[in-house]
């Protein structure tokens, strides 16, 4: 990448949306006025999903758009740019698609480069570079939404193995009571729990944000639907956090937007698993919740680019 490059186009592909923007890599800011967002239905066909992604990216095309950073959830072959979604209740239609080649042709005319990175890793790197985790040596990032995303950083570099790191750096591969973690903590799990607690009365129409609104009014059923999953998450997370030696845990994702309802149960669960939870480990919400994954995607793209030889 040219040393003087200042702007880099990026995409953040989430479970229900895709966002495109230009990132100023000099000041690590999303350029004001460049954001484009499109809704995604994770159950749509491959053509419909790709069309929405390309439409968002095309709205951002800068003069020099040959290098793109793309944050996307797994399962995904990030080095090859090939989707491997299965068993995660989203994007099944993309499985086996060479999304790297598809986006390269659509957004760069076939001559550019697309650098993919896990969305939770991008979020965590963004928070480390310019958000709540800035200045920390060992950082754990957690995203709570359609699933549970995680990343373990040492000086901004993601680690996927080693002491205190779950298999492949993925907390979603862990279990609670013999079931996948996301069966307990995720958008679908919280909605299902509320449905069960209410006997299904009007519950099918409520999303997590609606349940959170009810919880704030003192609705004990809504409060329990949120508290139990988050407390369970804390119990799972605590031993990994301590073993990794993180000084900060930064939490993002759509569920974390209700931080007033998330923080207490999460901290309680961590204290359940590790009595006398150490004060030196901070648990904080994202400082750049709308931008962190975009910044992290740009950071990753820059550091994946080969250094040009002199002359």
- CATH number of the domain at 20, please: 3.30.420.40
Confirm whether 92 is domain-assigned: yes
User: What three-state secondary structure class fits 83?
Assistant: strand
DSSP H/E element including 141: strand 138-144
Are 296 and 281 within one domain? Answer: no
Burial of 238 (0-12, 13-18, 19+ CB in 10 A): buried
Q: Which of 63-72, 159-168, 233-242, 274-283 has the lowest mean pLDDT?
A: 63-72
CA–CA separation, 165 and 208 (whole Å): 29
Are 110 and 227 within one domain? Answer: no
Whether the per-residue pLDDT at 65 is higher than 80: the answer is no
Are 249 and 164 within one domain? Answer: yes
Name the pTM for this structure: 0.90
Confirm whether 239 is domain-assigned: yes
pLDDT at 2: 43
What mean pLDDT is predicted for residues 69-81? 89
Are 94 and 149 within one domain? Answer: no
Are 30 and 49 within one domain? Answer: yes
Count up the domains in the chain and report the number.
Answer: 2
User: What's the domain range around 252?
Assistant: 135-285
pLDDT at 4: 47
Whether the per-residue pLDDT at 111 is higher than 90: the answer is no
Are 113 and 191 within one domain? Answer: no
Are 227 and 261 within one domain? Answer: yes
């Amino acid at each position: 990448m040219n040393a003087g490059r200042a702007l880099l186009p990026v995409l953040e592909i989430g479970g229900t949306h895709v966002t495109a923007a230009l990132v100023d890599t000099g000041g690590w800011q999303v350029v004001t006025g460049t954001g484009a967002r499109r809704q995604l239905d994770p159950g749509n066909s491959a053509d419909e999903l790709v069309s929405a992604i390309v439409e968002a990216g095309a709205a951002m095309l800068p003069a020099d758009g040959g290098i793109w950073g793309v944050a996307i959830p797994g399962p995904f072959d990030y080095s090859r740019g090939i989707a491997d979604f299965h068993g995660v209740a989203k994007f099944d239609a993309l499985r086996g698609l060479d999304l790297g080649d598809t986006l390269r042709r659509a957004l760069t005319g076939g001559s550019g480069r697309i650098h993919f990175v896990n969305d939770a890793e991008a979020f965590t790197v963004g928070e480390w570079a310019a958000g709540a985790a800035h200045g920390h040596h060992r950082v754990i990032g957690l995203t709570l939404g359609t699933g549970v995303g995680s990343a373990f950083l040492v000086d901004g570099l993601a680690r996927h193995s080693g002491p205190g790191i779950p298999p492949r750096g993925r907390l979603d591969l862990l279990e609670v009571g013999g079931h996948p973690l996301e069966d307990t903590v995720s958008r679908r799990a919280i909605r299902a729990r509320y449905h069960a607690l209410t006997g299904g009365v009007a519950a099918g129409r409520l999303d997590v944000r609606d349940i959170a609104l009810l919880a704030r009014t003192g609705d004990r059923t809504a409060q329990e639907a949120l508290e139990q999953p988050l407390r369970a998450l804390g119990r799972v997370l605590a031993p990994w956090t301590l073993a990794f030696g993180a000084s900060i845990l930064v939490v993002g994702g759509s569920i974390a937007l209700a931080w007033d309802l998330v923080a207490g149960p999460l901290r309680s669960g961590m204290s359940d698993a590790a009595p006398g939870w150490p004060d030196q480990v901070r648990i904080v919400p994202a400082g750049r919740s709308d931008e962190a994954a975009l910044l992290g995607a740009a950071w990753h793209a820059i550091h994946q680019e080969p250094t040009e030889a002199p002359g």
